[in-house]
Structure 1
């Protein structure tokens, strides 16, 4: 089983194969940007799998425990785990390999970035500037804050700072706090814009933590900074469609081929393009049923439905203007691939599905993925007023009752927004 897990890691690593490495340049006499590793491919952020040896061990233990408990299955999920050997381990590895993607496109904002962390909670907080809100995402051992420049008060306590250059960015600088808590801040202006952004990333770097085993400066320098890009490129090949409050993108050449009601429940719009089939569907939320947009629910449903447990599959919570959706990305170069995105507002669940074959399609994998990530809502500002939790109610209650988890998080938000 361990050997198969290692094979899965090797397959996932294939996503990042690229001859170019991370090249963060600094002017003469400036300190080097901490954490930069030239052995890491410049497109490593496109690999949304993040599994270490500890995660593999935990997945194998979980799988063994499940198999023991389902020898005499009593409920439906136990029957599924019993019938499908390997499903339990694949589901757990899927949970460990989650990542986070941030999209901002309100007002003059127009940016995307990613980080290899799980998302447990997201908050929208007021910035001290007039340049819009700050978006904060909480993981188990990490905090990511994105928006207008911030952390001015806390910058007085930084241990080091400098400037750097990176393709697509101007006026880029960094600051770092390297103590018991590692924290790094970067500020930059994307080329050909007048909008300046600030990103703070805090991560402890616990090597035993399967969700995040790299310290803040490594994640910032090798994953976050290389992933920063404007969303304007989407306009070259796709345009926005609306379904009441819901907005999504489709390729400009895609044709609407049908609108239908399926199973007296699902409203479905179907589009087609060369080598691409798109289904956008919605159905009403049932408050008596567990939230179908949560990561664990989506990972289990996908792997149970499609099988192929050792194919490299990527999972990401996508925060679009502060509203979370969950994305599943199974990419097979020059083969049949899938993209699945699931999101909700106060009334409906929305599912955006693409089946495609890159060898037959005029669009590359990353183009289609970037397009799918854009799915969101026109009234995001009103939807995000409350904290956006990405875990089940029972898990949330445990964390709410924890004397450290939320107080620690809220204290950092208070400090960083000064």
Structure 2
């Protein structure tokens, strides 16, 4: 009887894994798509949180370092760390749990995708085709390129290739290069469209790196491909509002309840709907202050203000047509939740905040998150001409001077844009 029960349990477990796993199908005679892992749920990209052993060690060492400071700290963040020691380790761990979201929504482009990788820098480069630019995001040990089909030079070095089918995608294919650095490319046309995209992901899979210890083919097959979706559904429940150079979306049921100036600094628009309160605000950029849209600044501000260490929180750099913003997503399925998106143009910072309770709202968490991610600027082309660094000036100067970091990155861009 026990043996029979174990067999049934094993069968049920296998069934559950297959149902929730990524379902990438391949036609008869085609090689399997590299890196697919049935233990990874097909929605893993929605709730990415990666903390490995090395990240835990680094976070604990940082906590010990902060608490060992005997002199009165000069930096404001260290003063708060001393006053609120419980947020020190979560702050450091949050660095290793960041994801990257890409939204393309200009011209014929209309897709969203995500990758479990931190963003250090973004570049917009010209493609060899006439189908628009290529968008590149650089992490510590990774490179992501999205845009029109590309990588002809890469094709000469490929190790293997094949085709596959996945819901919502047509004419889907993959290529892979396996060397010291793993690189995978996929090309596809979203269903009911005529626009074909190419995505390249490069990652070495360094198991000692708390920022990225998954190989490129694992990331592409289990995170990127399942995350690809159209943005057209946003029109079903939200519409675009304009604020001079800035555009953002609000739910169709939300009403503008006030416009005000707060603290003689912040211009604020407030919207409300059942179970939802939205505040969209802007204020002038001070060139003498460190960029407030950077990940570390936003993570620190969030933990300092809310200190809700029990609720799972997601952190993501969101790239809209090549321009970055930072998202904080604290979600409770039946309680008070919070979304915050922070971005900038050449003149203003823009903060989009939603406080909501999903149990009291007609909008679901994913709908609200997808909506708050979507922003735009009228002068996007001029804004993205320069590299978009996502780290402080001191860290940027250090990486700029590194004899490997940038040359390696630019060499891969040269190869992939051919």
| TM-score clears 0.5 | yes
The alignment yields a C-alpha RMSD, in angstroms, of 1.2
Q: Matches of 2:241 and 2:264 in 1, distance apart?
A: 24
Contact kept, 8 Å, 1:18 with 1:42, in 2: the verdict is no
Change over 3 Å in CA distance of 1:150–1:188 after alignment to 2: same
**SS class of match (1:32):** coil
Contact kept, 8 Å, 1:335 with 1:359, in 2: the verdict is yes
Q: Give the Å deviation of 1:110.
A: 0.3
Does residue 241 (structure 1) correspond to residue 261 (structure 2)? The answer is: no
**SS class of match (1:302):** helix
Q: Matches of 1:239 and 1:19 in 2, distance apart?
A: 34
Does residue 354 (structure 1) correspond to residue 364 (structure 2)? The answer is: no
> Unaligned regions of 5+ residues in structure 1, if any?
1-16
Q: Matches of 1:149 and 1:192 in 2, distance apart?
A: 18
Deviates more, 1:342-351 or 1:47-56: 47-56
Contact kept, 8 Å, 1:48 with 1:316, in 2: the verdict is no
Q: Matches of 2:296 and 2:19 in 1, distance apart?
A: 34
Aligned to 1:47: 47
Q: Matches of 2:126 and 2:394 in 1, distance apart?
A: 29
Q: Matches of 2:66 and 2:174 in 1, distance apart?
A: 46
Aligned to 1:199: 199
Aligned to 1:300: 300
Contact kept, 8 Å, 1:186 with 1:198, in 2: the verdict is yes
Contact kept, 8 Å, 1:113 with 1:224, in 2: the verdict is yes
Change over 3 Å in CA distance of 1:406–1:75 after alignment to 2: closer
Contact kept, 8 Å, 2:18 with 2:38, in 1: the verdict is no
- Normalised TM-score (structure 1): 0.95
Aligned to 2:280: 280
Aligned to 1:24: 24
Change over 3 Å in CA distance of 1:74–1:384 after alignment to 2: closer
- Normalised TM-score (structure 2): 0.95
Q: Give the Å deviation of 1:56.
A: 1.2
Higher Rg? 2
The size of the alignment, in residue pairs, is: 402
- Equivalent residues in 2 for 1:215-230 (5 A)? 215-230=215-230
Deviations 1:30-75 (A, max 9, x none): 0000000112111110013222121111111111111111564444
Aligned to 1:324: 324
Aligned to 1:163: 163
Deviations 1:351-408 (A, max 9, x none): 0000000000111111000000002312211100000000000000000000000000
**SS class of match (1:223):** helix
Contact kept, 8 Å, 2:121 with 2:387, in 1: the verdict is yes
